[in-house]
């Protein structure tokens, strides 16, 4: 425990000098409560009223990673939560800083990443009477609808309870974001050090196993036995669960083709014999029984219906859904066999129920799937082998594909529109939890925060593949990367604009089109400005060398990869969500 404030001499009524009990303040109770629960890293940004907390945390041996903007610190905390299964901690100042962190908090909740946003705030008595305090805001009320849970601590004696409740809320059941409000006056409160020590709580079994009902397991297996065209669909929840051996056993023992969502790539290697990634459209349209493992039928899966799922042919399709939340079932389509429980327990129960004599998926189905997959892989290989005069997404990503193949332990961070879509389909992953991207919400700006978190909590080499538009949201954090000398190589696919750099102002005015950036920008100079390595790459060979040098040195590196500005499509692969596309004159 932190050393309490020094004992002060007091004089009793008889005039005898006596030692006063050692005291501890709110600052140190917060630090001790976090350390007691195995949390050793904080992502944040110092300022009123938490500047001294950041200094004291660092003095007490915690790692304090300070960012240039709270949103990116929050994104880092969320990514850390996904990678470690412990809540990532983001610390912000009041009002504007708190608001900056809210996007990351909400994104963490939507993505089911455990994260705690801790913000200093104004005093309650002033806020409630609206008397105009410095950065006055009822932060708790604002945060509540945007996260899984929200708490406020007013008394030093309750700090241990507040942090324990935040931790348990963040990681139990379906993980998510939690807000913890700490008014400025709380930090200076003092109490008896021994009493304070006893008030702290070490959370026991924060995310207890939730075993599936035996009858639910049997119902799912009975349905799977009837399947003629079964499919296993792996979501990022399956990756977060870290039940890798059990998931592999389910796939291999069943003999069923599997399809990973983007952040589940590598849970089984993408070159696994049963991978159906390169036949995605076919298996989604044709499968008659689909096992959802930690995946939700949201917009990323066309809500389980429509053309993606075969249109009219989908009438007889049935779903088996494994999820820790019972309310997720039937959210878009009927779930014939819901399996409620933690993924490790449910999948293990299914594998045990299959037994050694389980009849594998019909050969007629699997042969057809793998034939289409292999044909599509061959077509992709032809495309990737081309070397156009100016790099396009495919020729540049052919380099990244080989880099990850040679360095499977590196962590790939990916965001953008076209950059995201092409990378997801071209670059194979071989190990679990090595791919971090925009996830369920599909938001931009996660890149540098996720990259910093990956480097900090794993110590591994990070490769961030960024669209030039996506990079703009968090680009200033390259200074953070340099300041902490992190092994991060950022590759900006620069095609001079959003989607592409060829749009024109339809009015003929002097302003460029809204989607066009400064032509031939040199993003590599940003990294050089802060002491990192900048590389300007115009060919696959230059790109390959730049990444190889970055990996070999471990130095912060940014590669400005010049991409054909005519490459790319409007909104990537979600053009249908833009109601104006296709209606232009």
pLDDT digits (tens, 9 = 90+) for 410-458: 999 999 999 999 999 999 999 999 999 999 998 899 999 999 999 999 9
CB 348 within 8 A of CB 209: no
Q: How far apart are CA 561 and CA 395, in angstroms?
A: 11
Mean pLDDT of the chain: 94
Q: How far apart are CA 122 and CA 181, in angstroms?
A: 10
DSSP letters, 50-70, are THHHHHHHHHTT-EEEE-SSH
pLDDT digits (tens, 9 = 90+) for 310-328: 987 767 899 999 999 999 9
Compute the average pLDDT of residues 32-43. Answer: 98
Compute the average pLDDT of residues 90-97. Answer: 96
Indicate the angle between helix axes 159-171 and 26-36, nearest 10 degrees: 40
b/e for 114-140, b at 16 or more Cβ within 10 A?
bbbbbbbbbbbeebeeeeebebbbebb
Tokens of 314: 């989908």
- Upper half-sphere CA count for residue 499 (Cβ side, 13 Å): 14
- Contacts with 39 (C-beta within 8 Å, 6 or more apart), sequence order: 62, 86, 87, 89
* Beta sheet of 411-415, edge-to-edge order: 435-437, 411-415, 462-467, 488-494, 557-562, 533-537
- Contacts with 378 (C-beta within 8 Å, 6 or more apart), sequence order: none
pLDDT digits (tens, 9 = 90+) for 488-500: 999 999 999 999 8
CB 310 within 8 A of CB 326: no
Q: Could you tell me the pLDDT band of residue 584, with boundaries at 50, 70 and 90?
A: very low
Instruction: Give which of 398, 394, 397, 437 is closest to 415, Cα–Cα.
Output: 437
CB 218 within 8 A of CB 275: no
pTM of the model: 0.94
More confident call, 466 vs 574? 466
Compute the average pLDDT of residues 235-259. Answer: 98
Q: Could you tell me the pLDDT band of residue 8, with boundaries at 50, 70 and 90?
A: very low
- Contacts with 224 (C-beta within 8 Å, 6 or more apart), sequence order: 230, 254, 289, 291, 320
User: What's the confidence (pLDDT) of residue 585?
Assistant: 35
Decide: helix, strand or coil at residue 392.
coil
User: What's the confidence (pLDDT) of residue 13?
Assistant: 53
């Amino acid at each position: 425990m932190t050393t309490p404030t020094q004992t002060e001499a007091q004089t009793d009524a008889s005039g005898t000098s006596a030692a006063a009990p050692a005291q501890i303040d709110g600052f140190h109770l917060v630090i001790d409560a976090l350390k007691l629960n195995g949390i050793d890293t904080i992502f944040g940004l110092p300022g009123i009223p938490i500047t001294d907390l950041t200094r004291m945390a660092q003095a007490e041996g915690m790692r304090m990673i300070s960012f240039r903007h709270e949103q990116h610190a929050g994104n880092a905390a969320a990514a850390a939560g996904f990678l470690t299964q412990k809540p990532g901690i983001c610390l912000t100042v009041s009002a504007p800083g708190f608001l900056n962190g809210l996007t990351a908090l909400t994104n963490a909740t939507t993505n089911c990443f455990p994260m705690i946003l801790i913000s200093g705030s104004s005093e309650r008595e002033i806020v409630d009477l609206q008397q105009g305090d410095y950065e006055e805001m009822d932060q708790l009320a604002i945060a509540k609808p945007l996260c899984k849970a929200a708490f406020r601590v007013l008394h030093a004696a309750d700090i241990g309870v507040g942090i324990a409740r935040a931790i348990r809320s963040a990681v139990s059941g379906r993980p998510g974001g939690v807000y913890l409000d700490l008014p400025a006056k709380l930090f200076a409160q003092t109490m008896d050090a021994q009493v304070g020590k006893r008030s702290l709580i070490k959370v026991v079994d924060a995310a207890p196993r939730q075993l599936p009902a035996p009858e639910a397991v049997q119902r799912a297996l009975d349905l799977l036995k009837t399947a003629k065209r079964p499919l296993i669909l792996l979501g990022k929840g399956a990756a977060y669960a870290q039940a890798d051996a059990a998931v592999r056993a389910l796939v291999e023992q069943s003999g069923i083709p599997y399809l990973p969502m983007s952040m589940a790539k590598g849970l089984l290697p993408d070159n696994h014999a049963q991978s159906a990634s390169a036949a995605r459209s076919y298996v989604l349209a044709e499968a008659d029984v689909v096992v959802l493992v930690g995946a939700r039928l949201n917009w990323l899966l066309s809500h389980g219906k429509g053309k993606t799922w075969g249109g009219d042919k989908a009438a007889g399709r049935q779903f088996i859904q494994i999820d820790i939340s019972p309310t997720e079932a039937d959210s878009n389509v009927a779930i014939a066999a819901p399996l409620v429980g933690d993924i490790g327990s449910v999948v293990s129960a299914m594998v045990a129920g299959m037994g050694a004599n389980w009849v594998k998926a019909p050969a007629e189905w699997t042969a057809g799937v793998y034939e289409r997959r292999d044909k599509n892989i061959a077509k992709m290989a032809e495309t990737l082998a081309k070397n156009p005069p100016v790099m396009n997404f495919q020729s540049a990503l052919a380099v990244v594909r080989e880099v990850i193949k040679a360095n499977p332990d590196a962590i790939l961070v990916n965001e953008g529109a076209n950059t995201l879509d092409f990378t997801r389909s071209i670059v194979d992953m071989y190990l679990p939890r090595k791919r971090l991207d925009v996830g369920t919400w599909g938001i931009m700006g996660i890149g540098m925060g996720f990259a910093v978190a990956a480097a900090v909590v794993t110590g591994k080499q990070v490769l961030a593949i960024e669209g030039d538009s996506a990079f703009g949201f968090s680009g200033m954090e390259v200074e953070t990367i340099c300041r902490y000398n992190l092994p991060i190589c950022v590759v900006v696919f620069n095609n001079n604009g959003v989607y592409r750099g060829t749009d024109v102002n339809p009015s003929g005015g002097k302003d460029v089109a809204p989607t066009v950036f400064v032509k031939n920008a040199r993003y590599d100079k940003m990294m050089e400005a802060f002491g990192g390595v900048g590389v300007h790459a115009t060919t696959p060979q230059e790109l390959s060398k730049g990444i190889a040098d970055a990996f070999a040195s471990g130095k912060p590196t940014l590669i400005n990869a010049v991409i054909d500005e005519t490459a790319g499509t409007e909104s990537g692969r979600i053009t249908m969500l833009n109601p104006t596309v296709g209606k232009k004159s």
